[in-house]
Amino acid sequence: MKIAFIGDIVGRPGRRIIEANLKKLKTEYGIDFVIANGENASHGFGLTVKNANELFNVGIDVITGGNHSFDKRKEMITLLESQNVLRPDNYPQGVHGSGLMTFDVNGEKLAVLNLMGQFSMPTCENPFNWATNVIKELKEQNIRNIFIDFHAEATSEKRVMFKMFEGEVSGICGTHTHVSTDDLQISQGTCYLTDIGLTGCRDNIIGMDKKIPIRKATTGLGGHFEIPNSCKSILQMVVMELEEGKAKDAFKIKLLSGKNEAIITKAMIE
C-alpha cells in the first residue's frame, strides 16, 4: 500500500493548496490513503466541523491532532464522536475521543496512532510508555502496518520515539514546529522524519502573519496570531510505500504555489 502524510495544515491557505492539488497528487503517485495533521486547520487554532468536511471531501482519510485539538472544543467533540478525527492518544483519561484508529487499505490493516510529546505541551501521559503498550496490543492483533504522528516540540523526543520503535512500526513523522527537517530516512523498515513542516503560508512565521510574532520577540508584548489574507503557500507531504508492515520506499513532496513542478526528496535508506 502507498500512504501519504501531510504536515500541520495552517488555516485557509493550507486548505486551499490541498484542495487545488491533492486529488491530482493521489492519482499521479498512486496513493491509497492520506493522513493529515489538522489541529491548526481552522484559522490556525483547532478544527471546525465545516473545515474537517472540506478536507475529507478533497481526499484526506483521517485527521490527526495535537496541543490545539481542543481549541474549538464543542466542534472537536462532535468530530471525535462522528468522523475519522484523532486527538493525541496519550491525553489523560476522561478526555473525549481517541488517538488510534485502524483502517482497511487494499485488503490490509493500517493503524494510525497520534501521540503528543511532554516538553512544552499540555498535561499528557508518558508517550513512550504509552506507545509501547499500544504497539504491543496492535502486534498481538497481527496489525503490522503502523503509522505514528508524533506531535512534539523537542526534536530529541522525536528521535527517542524513532529509536525505541525502529523496525517495529512502518512510519513515524513528527509535527508541531511547522518547520521542516531534512532527515527523511528508512531504517530497519521504519520511515522517519523529525518534522514534516507546515502546509500553509511559507513566507511568514510558522504560517502566521509576521507582525505579532515580531512584536512579541522584540517587546515581550503578544497578541492574537492571524493567518495572512494572501501569501505564498506550500504543501508538504511524505509518501511511503509499505509492504508487510515495512517501509520499502519513501519520498517527500514540496509543492509551492506559483511553481509548476514539485520538489521531490527521496528518503535515505540505511
- pLDDT band, very low/low/confident/very high, at 175 (cuts 50, 70, 90): very high
Cα–Cα nearest to 249, from 236, 238, 260, 262:
238
User: What is the spatial distance between Cα 219 and Cα 229, in angstroms, rounded to a whole number?
Assistant: 25
Using the predicted structure, report yes or no on whether residue 157 has a pLDDT greater than 90. Answer: yes
Q: Tell me what pLDDT residue 229 has.
A: 82
Among 3.40.718.10, 3.40.50.720, 3.60.21.10, 1.10.3720.10, name the CATH number for the domain at 2-202+231-269. Answer: 3.60.21.10
Distance CA 203, CA 234 (A): 9
Q: How confident is the model at residue 258 (pLDDT cuts 50, 70, 90)?
A: confident
182 and 152 Cβ atoms separated by less than 8 Å: no
Looking at every residue in the chain, the average pLDDT score rounds to 96
CA angle 213, 217, 219 (to 5 degrees): 110
pLDDT digits (tens, 9 = 90+) for 110-128: 999 999 999 999 999 999 9
pLDDT digits 0-9 by tens, 56-77: 999 999 999 999 999 899 999 9
Domain boundaries, the chain: 2-202+231-269
pLDDT of residue 223: 86
pLDDT at residue 222, as a whole number: 83
As a three-state string, the secondary structure of the chain is CEEEEECCECHHHHHHHHHHHHHHHHHHHCCCEEEEECCCCCCCCCCCHHHHHHHHHCCCCEEECCCCCCCCHHHHHHHHHHCCECCCCCCCCCCCCCCEEEEEECCEEEEEEEEECCCCCCCCCCHHHHHHHHHHHHHHCCCCEEEEEEECCCHHHHHHHHHHHCCCCCEEEEECCCCCCCCCEEECCEEEECCCCCEEECCCECCECCHHHHHHHHHCCCCCCCCCCCCCEEEEEEEEEEECCEEEEEEEEEEECCCCCCEEEECEEC
Mean pLDDT, residues 4-28: 97
Instruction: Find the Cα–Cα–Cα–Cα dihedral 92, 46, 16, 6, rounded to 10°.
Output: -20
pLDDT of residue 224: 85
> Which residues are the active-site residues?
68
pLDDT tens-digit series, residues 198-213: 999 999 999 989 999 9
Q: Looking at residue 110, what is its pLDDT?
A: 98
Q: Which three cell numbers stand for residue 10?
A: 495552517
Q: Does the pLDDT at position 259 exceed 90?
A: no
Q: What pLDDT, on the 0 to 100 scale, is given for residue 85?
A: 98
pLDDT tens across 140-155, in order?
999 999 999 999 999 9
> Residue 260 above 90 pLDDT?
no
pTM of the shown model:
0.96
